[in-house]
């Protein structure tokens, strides 16, 4: 059917093939449409419109909608299928573009925008918004989706690239950042946050208190790594530092400062705390193990060192005062070193000791009074002001050292020297006397007496050792004497001389007094400490003894060249 003018159809028009209606077509039926098969106009196939479509009330589309130019709907419309707007008119404002919406637009699903999004008012997005290019949102943007974020690719708002914020950022729970963070103005986070990358705060506001500055933390701040501060650090509470703190200018720490690093210090540039410049302390310093100083040390307060103090330069201590704790140096009592060490200063609770070389010396107490001080110990000195003499306390008594009487025991006590150093000359031994020694009583010497000059004796008395029933090998101990008296001799015997000194170029005399019976016997052989010796008898005659007489046998033990020569002589009496 082809109509070149207007067509008014009162009841129904059925056309079986293609038709062309050149003029206006009016369908006077007012039957409403509630589906694709009801209404005043029912089109079994598709409908193509090159111009505008204006619908008075509502538009309901069960399939896709393609609009070439424009679609105007006066009331609510439902488009069940896909709607394609083929116009490519760009949008530069809210009143231009291929799709113009005078009121608001509500989208239950995702919105994908190919280039840019510009919003002059608020934006409320129920599910998702996808924008392919730059977008400008002038008003407030609300994202109503409550999906939590556990990574950079999850959550109600997902940004594939970076995000730049010129104003403040307020986060209700936590912030987790895997890269760097640059904050232009302010960042407010209501719960725990994790920033894996570098965080840059570009605000230059200085801090003058705990509530001012570019970064303000209401609670505490824990730092596992180093902290570097460009100018100054002011802390009104305690400071706990896990690794390192670097401050470029003056800092004030009002509370206690705890440095938790356990790195030991072996020089001025190592350790948990390193100070490039000087270190001034107005209070006490307590060091747990050792203190090593390579320069000069000036201590005006109290220094307590737990183990050792090493000062390479000079050390100056404060002046003492009369009040308690006013002494410049205190030493805690302890146990002296098992092996003395050169330069060691020790205090055992009673005495002070100093080791100038390898021998520990006691620094004794000195008392100045007219009467002997009480509570004295060995090594204490007493200047007897009444008598004008210096005395030393030794083994429970005082001895004086003055005038010609070098040592006079007070109260007639016994002087005991417990040192066991042996004497090999006049300048060695436990007791050394440069001058002479006068003894008005007896002198007993335990082992040997060596005299290098003239010896004058008024008389001598030698110890006589007795032996009976001699037979076999008989020991003759020189430590008990060198004269041995034999009686009731049973047989010829070997005289074993024991404890004989082996010093070269020495001669020792041994005498045997043999009281013979009816059958005489003789010392026919001789040993020195069990080693057999050859006896060279006088006139080369070996004696056999005289019955019922007293025989005297003398042996001279001569030591030369680390070998012995034994000379024997014999005489008979009675």
DSSP for 367-387, written as a single string: EEESSPPSS--TT-EEEETTT
Q: Are 399 and 415 in contact (CB under 8 A)?
A: yes
Beta strands at 118-119 and 78-79: parallel, antiparallel or unpaired: unpaired
Sign of CA dihedral 439, 441, 446, 450: positive
The Cα–Cα gap between 34 and 49 comes to 21
More confident residue, 389 or 492: 492
What is the DSSP pairing of strand 472-477 with strand 493-498?
parallel
| Angle in degrees, CA 534, 540, 541, rounded to 5 | 100
What integer is the mean pLDDT of 61-79?
Answer: 67
**CB neighbour list of residue 438: distance below 8 Å, 6 or more residues apart:** none
36 torsion bin: left (phi>0), alpha (psi -120 to 50), beta (else): alpha
What contacts 101, CB < 8 A, 6 or more positions away?
Answer: none
What average pLDDT does the chain have?
79
pTM score of the predicted model: 0.34
476 CB contacts (<8 Å, ≥6 apart)?
A: 465, 467, 484, 495, 496, 497, 498, 510, 512
pLDDT at 403: 44
pLDDT at 133 over 80: no
What does the pLDDT look like over 181-215, one tens digit per residue?
666 666 666 767 777 777 777 778 888 887 888 88
Q: What is the pLDDT of residue 2?
A: 61
Q: To which residue do tokens 């309901």 refer?
A: 60
The residue written with tokens 């103090």 in the block is 309
Alpha helices in 496-550 (DSSP H): none
Q: Which of 483, 487, 486 is nearest to 511 (CA)?
A: 483
Gap between the Cα atoms of 372 and 223, Å rounded: 67
Q: How many CB atoms lie within 10 A of CB 102?
A: 6
With helix as H, strand as E and coil as C, how does 202-255 read?
A: CCCCCCCCCCCCCCCCCCCCCCCCEEEECCCCEECCCEEECCEEEECCCCEECC
Q: pLDDT tens for residues 301-356?
A: 666 666 666 666 677 777 888 888 888 888 888 999 999 999 888 888 877 888 98
Which residue, among 76, 152, 105, has the nearest Cα to 117 in the 3D structure? 105
Measured between alpha carbons, how far is 189 from 168 in angstroms, rounded to an integer?
11
CA distance 377 to 3: 146
Write the pLDDT tens digit of every residue in 440-488.
888 888 777 878 788 888 888 899 999 999 999 999 999 999 999 999 9
pLDDT > 90? residue 566? yes
Reply yes or no on whether the pLDDT at 168 is more than 90: no
Q: Which phi and psi angles does 427 have, rounded to 5°?
A: -115, 15
- Closest C-alpha to 566, from 516, 531, 521: 531
- Compute CA 270 distance to the chain's CA centroid, rounded to the nearest angstrom: 12
Angle at 266 between CA 264 and CA 268, to 5 degrees: 105
Which residues, in sequence order, are CB contacts of 174 under 8 Å at separation 6+? Answer: 189, 191, 192, 193, 194
Query: Based on the number of CB atoms within 10 Å of its own CB, is 177 exposed (0-12), middle (13-18) or buried (19 or more)?
Result: middle
Binning pLDDT at 50, 70 and 90, where does residue 138 land? confident
Residue 228 has pLDDT above 70, yes or no: yes
Q: For a pLDDT cut of 90, what percent of the chain falls above it?
A: 21
pLDDT at position 206 is 85
Q: Is residue 391 within 8 Å of residue 382, measured between CB atoms?
A: yes
Helix (H, G, I), strand (E, B) or coil at 538: helix
- What is the Rg, in whole angstroms, of the alpha carbon atoms belonging to the chain? 60
* Selection from 159-168, 190-199, 514-523 with the highest mean pLDDT: 514-523
Q: Which of 97, 87, 45 is nearest to 66 (CA)?
A: 87
**Token pair for residue 308?**
């050792």
- Checking if the pLDDT of 217 tops 70, the result is yes
Helix H, strand E, coil C: the string for 62-97 is CCCEEECCEEEECCCCEECCCEEECCCCCCCCCCCC
What are 371's two structure tokens? Answer: 């009467």
Task: Tell me the three state secondary structure of residue 530.
Answer: coil
Q: Give pLDDT, residue 114.
A: 76
Residue 370 token pair: 């007219």
């Amino acid at each position: 059917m082809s109509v070149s003018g207007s067509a008014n159809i009162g009841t129904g028009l059925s056309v079986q093939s293609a038709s062309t209606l050149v003029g206006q077509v009016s369908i006077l039926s007012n039957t409403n449409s509630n589906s694709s098969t009801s209404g005043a106009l029912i089109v079994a196939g598709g409908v193509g419109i090159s111009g505008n479509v204006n619908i008075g009330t509502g538009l309901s589309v069960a399939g896709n909608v393609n609009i070439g130019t424009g679609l105007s709907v006066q009331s609510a419309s439902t488009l069940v299928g896909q709607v394609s707007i083929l116009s490519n008119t760009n949008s530069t404002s809210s009143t231009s573009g291929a799709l113009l919406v005078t009121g608001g637009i509500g989208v239950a699903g995702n919105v994908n925008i190919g280039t840019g999004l510009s919003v002059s008012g608020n934006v409320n997005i129920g599910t998702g918004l996808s924008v392919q290019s730059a977008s400008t949102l002038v008003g407030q943007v609300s994202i109503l989706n409550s999906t939590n974020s556990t990574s950079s690719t999850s959550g109600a708002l997902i940004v594939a690239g970076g995000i730049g914020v010129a104003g403040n950022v307020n986060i209700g729970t936590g912030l987790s950042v895997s890269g760097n963070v640059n904050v232009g103005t302010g960042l407010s986070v209501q719960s725990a946050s994790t920033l894996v990358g570098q965080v840059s705060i570009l605000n230059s506001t200085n801090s003058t208190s705990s509530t001012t500055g570019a970064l303000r933390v209401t609670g505490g701040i824990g730092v596992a790594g180093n902290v570097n501060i460009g100018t100054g650090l002011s802390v009104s509470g305690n400071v706990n530092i896990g690794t390192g703190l670097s401050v470029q200018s003056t800092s004030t720490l009002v509370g206690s400062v705890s440095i938790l690093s356990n790195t030991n210090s072996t020089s001025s540039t190592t350790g948990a705390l390193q100070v490039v410049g000087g270190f001034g302390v107005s209070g006490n310093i307590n060091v747990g193990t050792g203190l090593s100083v390579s320069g000069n040390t000036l201590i005006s307060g109290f220094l307590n060192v737990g183990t050792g103090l090493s000062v390479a330069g000079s050390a100056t201590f404060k002046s003492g005062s009369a009040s308690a704790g006013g002494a410049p140096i205190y030493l805690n009592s302890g146990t002296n070193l098992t092996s003395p060490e050169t330069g060691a200063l020790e205090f055992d609770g009673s005495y002070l000791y100093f080791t100038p070389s390898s021998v520990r010396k006691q620094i004794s107490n000195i008392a100045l009074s007219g009467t002997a001080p009480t509570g004295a110990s060995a090594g204490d000195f007493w200047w007897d002001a009444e008598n004008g003499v210096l005395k030393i306390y030794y083994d429970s008594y005082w001895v004086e050292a003055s005038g010609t009487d070098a040592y006079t025991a007070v109260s007639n006590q016994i002087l005991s020297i417990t040192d066991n150093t042996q004497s090999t000359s006049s300048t060695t031994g436990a007791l050394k006397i440069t001058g002479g020694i006068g003894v008005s009583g007896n002198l007993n010497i335990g082992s040997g007496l060596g005299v290098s000059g003239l010896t004058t004796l008024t008389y001598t008395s030698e110890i006589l050792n007795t032996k009976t029933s001699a037979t076999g090998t008989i020991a003759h101990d020189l430590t008990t004497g060198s004269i041995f008296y034999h009686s009731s001799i049973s047989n010829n015997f070997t005289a074993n001389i024991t404890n004989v000194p082996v010093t070269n170029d020495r001669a020792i005399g041994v005498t045997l007094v043999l009281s013979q019976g009816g059958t005489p016997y003789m010392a026919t052989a001789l040993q020195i400490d069990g080693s057999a010796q050859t006896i060279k008898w006088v006139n080369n005659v070996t004696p056999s003894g005289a019955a019922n007489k007293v025989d005297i046998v003398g042996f001279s033990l001569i030591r030369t060249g680390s070998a012995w020569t034994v000379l024997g002589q014999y005489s008979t009496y009675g």
